[in-house]
């Protein structure tokens, strides 16, 4: 792969992807680039913020409320977990349990637990449990992408 980066004043950020053939890796790269423009509204102390997908570590539903976890803060959103899962399916945010979505880009390591579950450790040290139901999708992603 060849990367060319150059500063062009007075023009918006433009990314051009040239490829010899459209394969799964190229499609993943294009989806990842597109996800940089995706924002999720989150509120904290009555103030609403536009959160970039790349800043979200994981999303969790607790008692009918959905929370967005970033490196240093927690935000609440009005969206339902299934709505976020559908909206973010192409961005690297994936379901790991009935009540939790994880940003695969924030995954540092993963280990097998005794009860056939996985424990995912994020880059900030947070540990999440991957339910058995979602093991296959996580393992498929880990075969393609390398943890930190």
Per residue, what are the HEC states of 108-147? EEEEECCCCCEEEEECCCCEEEECHHHHHHHHHHHHHCCC
The whole-number pLDDT of residue 65 equals 96
The whole-number pLDDT of residue 32 equals 79
The whole-number pLDDT of residue 147 equals 47
- Residue 68, classed as helix, strand or coil, is strand
The whole-number pLDDT of residue 136 equals 78
pLDDT digit string (tens) for the chain, length 148 residues: 888 888 889 988 888 889 999 998 888 788 778 777 788 999 999 999 999 988 999 999 999 999 999 998 999 999 999 999 998 877 889 999 999 999 988 998 888 888 777 899 999 999 999 988 888 777 777 776 544 5
The whole-number pLDDT of residue 43 equals 95
The whole-number pLDDT of residue 134 equals 85
**Cα radius of gyration rounded to whole Å, the chain:** 17
How many angstroms separate the CA atoms of 98 and 39, rounded?
23
Query: Hey, what domains does the chain have and what are their CATH numbers?
Result: 24-144 (2.40.50.1020)
């Amino acid at each position: 792969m060849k990367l060319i980066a150059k500063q062009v004043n007075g023009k918006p950020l433009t990314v051009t992807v040239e490829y010899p053939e459209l394969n799964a890796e190229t499609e993943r790269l294009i989806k990842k680039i597109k996800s940089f423009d995706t924002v999720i509204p989150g509120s904290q102390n009555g103030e609403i913020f536009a959160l970039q997908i790349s800043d979200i570590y994981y999303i969790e539903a607790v008692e009918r409320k959905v929370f967005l976890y970033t490196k240093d803060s927690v935000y609440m959103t009005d969206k339902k977990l299934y709505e976020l899962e559908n909206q973010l399916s192409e961005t690297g945010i994936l379901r790991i349990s009935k009540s939790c979505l994880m940003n695969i880009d924030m995954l540092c390591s993963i280990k097998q637990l005794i009860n056939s579950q996985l424990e995912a450790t994020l880059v900030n040290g947070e540990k999440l449990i991957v339910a058995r139901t979602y093991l296959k999708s996580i393992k498929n992603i880990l075969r393609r992408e390398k943890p930190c």
